[in-house]
Chains A and B, each alone.
Chain A
Amino acid sequence: MVALQESMDDADLERLRADLAERVGSTRSAGLVLDVSALDVMDSFSTRMLLGIVNVAELRGADAVIVGIQPDVAFAMVQLGITLEGVHTALDLEEGLVLLAQRRRKRAR
């Protein structure tokens, strides 16, 4: 589980992406939850960075889910034109973990 901070800039996110790609392997993580509930804005740049983190984690074999997009943030993202196609999102950490468990079961079948 990784919680993103409001003050994180692109350089921090890039470091996070590299760090997570490595740690998904070293900890043999099956799932990654990205908690963005602290973010008051998700513009196109931070969204692109976030999608990059999700893609890298999934290529490394972990399921990734984004949780905690705030209602106001979601509203602004829609107006901006951002769509998170192909990305799994959930309301909060709890729902995110349920989603990961479901995906894991589906994979095992």
Chain B
Amino acid sequence: MTEVRVPVTHESDVVVVRREVRTLASTLGFSSGELAVIATAVSEIARNIVVYAKRGEVVLSLVENGARKGVRVVARDYGPGIPDLSLAMKDGWSTAKGLGLGLPGARRLMDEFDVVSEVGKGTIVTMTKWSR
């Protein structure tokens, strides 16, 4: 199974993650519009790592569910965690320098979205986009 692991510690890594997810997802025949959607979601999540947690990684892989194929993104960080997830999932809520669209925006862009966070330990965001 193809798996691409990208350490994320600096803003420049966000560009790397975007490029890697495009490369991987394009093997599944996503349209250019869908690739932009995936790259945007991944960009938001990778930025969150840099801005809030400073240190983490993004793991990209191809997944299958019956006849469907998709790209899965797991973003893991070792940051402060999110104390109030329901607040963080609200549009317009931001504690740092975004527009407050990061998590809810990424959820809209992807087919599946899950976030697990523990204060003091870190956050794991898992999201999947299925090819049509």
Chain A interface (Cβ < 8 Å from any Cβ of B): 6-7, 9-11, 40-45, 47-48, 70-73, 75-77, 79-82
Contacts and interface: CB of A to CB of B under 8 A. Distances in A.
Nearest to A71: B33
Grouping DSSP codes into helix (H, G, I), strand (E, B) and loop, the B interface class, with mixed when no group exceeds half, is: helix
B39 A41 contact: yes
Contacts of B22: 40
B44 A43 contact: yes
B61 interface: no
Interface stretch (B65-73, B81-89, B94-102): B94-102
A9 B108 contact: no
By secondary structure, the A interface counts as helix
B43 A41 contact: yes
A80 B109 contact: yes
B15 A75 contact: no
Nearest to B102: A44
A83 to B, nearest CB: 9
B98 A44 contact: yes
Contact of B97 (A9, A48, A70, A80): A48
Contacts of A79: 37, 40, 105, 108-109
B40 A81 contact: no
Interface residues of B, number: 31
A18 to B, nearest CB: 16
Interface string B48-85: 00010000000000000000000000000000000000
B33 A72 contact: yes
A80 B101 contact: yes
B36 A11 contact: no
Contact of A45 (B32, B41, B51): B51
Interface in B76-132: 91, 97-102, 104-106, 108-109
A72 B99 CA distance: 20
B97 A45 contact: yes
Contacts of A9: 10-12, 14-15
Given A40-B18, A48-B99, A75-B33, 9 more contacts: A9-B11, A11-B11, A40-B39, A44-B105, A73-B36, A76-B33, A76-B37, A76-B40, A82-B101
